[in-house]
Structure 1
Amino acid sequence: MDAQIRDIVTTELAPTATAADPGGLAAAVYAGGRVTFFNYGFADAASKRPITPDTLFNLASLRKVFEATLVALGSARGELRLDDPVGKYLPELHGDYISRVSIGELVTHTSGLLLPTDHPPWPNERFSRDQFIAMLNAWTPPPGVAPGKQRIYSHAGYVLLQLVLERRYEMPIGALIERRILQPLGMTSTFMPERTEDNRAVLAPAIMQRVVQGYSDQGTPIGPPGNQESYYDFAGTGQMFSSARDLGIFIRACLDGAVIDPELRAALAMTERESFRIDEKIGQAMAWEDVRLDGVTIVDKPGGLNNASAYIGLVPARRFGIVLLANRGEYPHEIARYRILPAIARLYPPPMPIR
C-alpha cells in the first residue's frame, strides 16, 4: 500500500511543482502509522537551495488551527467557555454588536464580523491595537447578519481571538501555543516569531537559513526570507513558520491521538467537529472545514498569502492525512481535497458501523 500511496501523491503533485514553476513544494503524508515526505523544487531559486522536510515555510492561515486548539483545550479544562462574550475578557469592547459576540462564534467564523482587513480592496495602512478595538466597537452589520447565524470567514475575528486568549491567560499568543501545543507534541521546528520594522521574522541565524524565499504565482520574489504580512502592527499578529516534518507530527497527533496527552487529544478532536452547516457538502468546525465527498469526509484547512500557500487535510475515520507547503502564492491545494485524499481513501476500507 505504501507504493500505491506514493504513486497517487507523486502523480498529482509532480505536475504542480516542475522546474518551470516558482519555488518549490514540501508534502508530508501520514498513513498506516507512518509519515512519508515528498520534496520538489527550491527553497531559494537564486541559490538553488533545495526543499527538504526540514525547510521552514510561512503557514499563513494554518495558524488558526493552533489558536482553535487553544480554545478547545481551555474549554475542556474549564478555563473558558465557548459562550463567553468577548467583553468578559476585553471590557474595552463595548459596541452594541461586538459585545454580543462569543468566543465560540469567533473560532467558528460565525461571529458575522467582516472588517476592511478581511476582503478586497485591501487597505494600504496598518492598524494599531487601539485602532482595531475602535473599529470593532464601531462596526455595524449589514441587514440580516447576527452573531451565530451565518458563516463569514474573518481574519479579524481571529486577531480578536488572539487578544481574548492573551488576556485570559496573561501570556503572549506565541508562548501559549508553544507551551500548550508545540512542546507537548515535540514540535521543535514550529515558530511564531515577532517581526522587524521591514516585516521580517526575528529568528536565530541557524533557523533563518532554513526559511524559504517566497514568490508570487508568476515567480517574482516577494519580500526577504522570513517575510511576514499583516494589517496590524501590534505584537503577535504575524504568521507562524513550520516544516513538513513538524506538521507531520501534528497530523499524526490529530489522527492517532493515542500518542499524546488525553486532554490535548480531546481538544484536537473537538476542533474537528462540525458546528455550523454551510451547505449540503461543507460544514464549519473550529478553524477546520468538514467536507463531505462521495464516500469520504475530509477535515481540512488551507492558508495562503501572495508568496506562500499551505494546506492540511485529514480523513479522521481512516487515520490518514496530508500536509502541503509551497513558497509561492496561489498553489492549487484543492488537488489534495478533491483528488489525493479521495484516491487514498479508496485504498482503505470504510470503518465498520458501531452496533
Structure 2
Amino acid sequence: MRAAVAGLLILFAVSPAQAADTRHADIRDLIDRAFGPLLQAHDVPGMAVAVTVGDRVEIASYGVAARDAKTPVTPDTLFELGSVSKTFTGILGGYAAALGRLSLNDHPGQSLPALRGSAVDRATLLQLGTYTAGGLPLQFPADVTSYERMIDWYQRWTPSAQPGVQRRYSNPSIGLFGHVAAMSLQRDFATLAERELFPQFGLRSTFVRVPPSELPRYAWGYSRTNQPVRVNPGPLDAEAYGVKSSAADMIRFVQLNLRPASLEPPMRRAVELAQTGYVQIGPMMQGQMIQGLGWEQYPWPVPLDQLLAGNSEQMSQQSNPATMLVPPQPPSGARLYNKTGATNGFGAYVAFLPGRNIGLVMLANRNLPIAARVTAAHAVLERLAR
C-alpha cells in the first residue's frame, strides 16, 4: 500500500513550471483578497497593486483609469505618487552626497546665499531631509505662489523648536533639501530626476512632467465629490509630491531598493544613504519608528497597530519628539521600509522587506484612507514573509 501511495505521489508531482504558476496564482489570490474589497468600500475607480517575491513579480489591475472613457487600468497606467515622490528626493540628495557635491551636514545657505543667517539656515540638510529643521509646516501658505515669495517666506519663517529635537512632517522641509541637492548638481530637480535618476533605475514610465505622448496613459484622479482632478503645480512640488509613475515601474524601483548591487556605485551609495536611519521618533512610537531620507522604517515583524500609528495623522499633522541617531543606523534586512503618498485625487503606498526580498506597491486614483492601504499591505507582506 505504501509503495502504491509513493507511486501516486511521483505520478502527480508538479513540474517546476507548474509550481511557479501555482505560486503566481497564490500571490494573485492574496492580492485580490487584501486589496479587492477596497475598491467598493472606498469607491475607488481604479487601482494597480504590484508584488515582488524574490525574482517574481505579480501585478493586479482593477477598475478604470478614467470613468468617462472607461479606460481600464493596466500595469503601465500612470498614477500620481504624491509623497512617495519624497523617496526619489531622498535618493537624489544621497546621490549628490555620494558624488561629493554636498555633505548632509551642510546648511542651505551655503547653496542659497539669500538664506544665510536666517532661522532655516541653522538646520542642516540632513535635518531638512528628515523633517527635524525646527517645525517647518506641512504646506507652504496659500500666498506662496512663486519662487521669490518662497525665498521670502523662508527668510521670515520662525521656528518652534531647535533643529533636531522634533519631527514635523513637511513639504517645505524636504522640498528645500531636494532643491539644494539639485542646485549642487547644477540642474533643476525635475530635469535631474527625468534625465539621470529615473534612467539609472530603468524607469521608462516615470515622470515629473508627463509628456504629451504619454497623456493617454495618465489616469484621472477623483476628488471626494467625484470630480476628475490632477495635481496642481506649486513651490517645490517636484521634490515633495510631483512624480507620476506606473505599477510596473514602481515595482522595479522597489526591486532595486531591495537589491541595489546592480546600480552604478554612486547611485548604489545614494540608495544606502536614503535607507539609513537618522532619527528615532518617540515617545508615541516607543522608539520604534526610524526616519530616513524619504523612507520610514520599523523593525520586522511590526505589529499592524504600530504601523498604523506610524502612518497616522498624529505623525503627519503634528510634531513628535525626535532624537538624532549618532551614529546613524545603516540599512538593515531586519526592517520594513515604507512610504505613503496622496494628492487630491490619488493614493499610494510602497513597502518592502530587504531581509525577505519582498516588496509591494499600491497605486489608486482615489485618495482612499491610509489605514485601509496599510492594513491591506501588511496582510500581504506578513503572509508572504512566512
Compute the TM-score of the two structures, normalised by the length of structure 1: 0.85
Query: What residue is the counterpart of 2:327 in the other structure?
Result: none
Query: What residue is the counterpart of 1:213 in the other structure?
Result: 220
Which 10-residue stretch deviates more, 67-76 or 332-341? 332-341
Query: What residue is the counterpart of 1:308 in the other structure?
Result: 346
Encode CA deviations 1:69-98: one digit per residue, 9 max, x unaligned.
Answer: 011122222221000011110011034411
Encode CA deviations 1:97-137: one digit per residue, 9 max, x unaligned.
Answer: 1121111111111112424725xxxx543421111111111
Which 10-residue stretch deviates more, 233-242 or 6-15? 233-242
Query: What residue is the counterpart of 1:72 in the other structure?
Result: 94
Query: What residue is the counterpart of 1:271 in the other structure?
Result: 274
2:203 aligned with 1:187: yes
Query: Which residues of structure 1 form unaligned runs of 5+?
Result: 194-200, 350-355
Q: Secondary structure at the match of 2:35?
A: helix
**8 Å Cα contact 1:62/1:310 also seen in 2:** yes
Which of 17, 27, 36 is the aligned partner of 2:49?
27
Query: What residue is the counterpart of 1:135 in the other structure?
Result: 153
Residue identity matched to 2:344: N
Cα shift at 1:55: 0.5
Partner Cα distance (1:230, 1:207) in 2: 19
CA RMSD of the aligned region, Å?
2.4
Cα shift at 1:235: 8.5
Partner Cα distance (1:333, 1:140) in 2: 31
Residue identity matched to 1:174: A
Query: What residue is the counterpart of 1:14 in the other structure?
Result: 36
Structure number with the higher helix fraction is 2
Shift of the 18–47 alpha-carbon distance from structure 1 to 2, 3 Å rule, reads: same
Which 10-residue stretch deviates more, 285-294 or 128-137? 285-294
Shift of the 3–244 alpha-carbon distance from structure 1 to 2, 3 Å rule, reads: same
**8 Å Cα contact 2:85/2:241 also seen in 1:** no
2:132 aligned with 1:125: no
2:311 aligned with 1:289: no
Q: Please show how residues 40-51 of structure 1 align to structure 2 within 5 Å.
A: 40-51=62-73
Query: Which residues of structure 2 form unaligned runs of 5+?
Result: 1-22, 303-333
Q: Secondary structure at the match of 1:187?
A: coil
Q: Secondary structure at the match of 2:133?
A: coil
Cα shift at 1:348: 3.6
**8 Å Cα contact 1:299/1:313 also seen in 2:** yes
Q: Where in structure 1 do 4 or more consecutive aligned residues deviate above 4 Å?
A: 233-238
Compute the TM-score of the two structures, normalised by the length of structure 2: 0.78
Over alpha carbons, which structure has the higher Rg?
2
Partner Cα distance (2:87, 2:352) in 1: 13
2:369 aligned with 1:332: yes
**8 Å Cα contact 1:86/1:99 also seen in 2:** yes
**8 Å Cα contact 1:22/1:219 also seen in 2:** no
Q: Percent identity?
A: 31
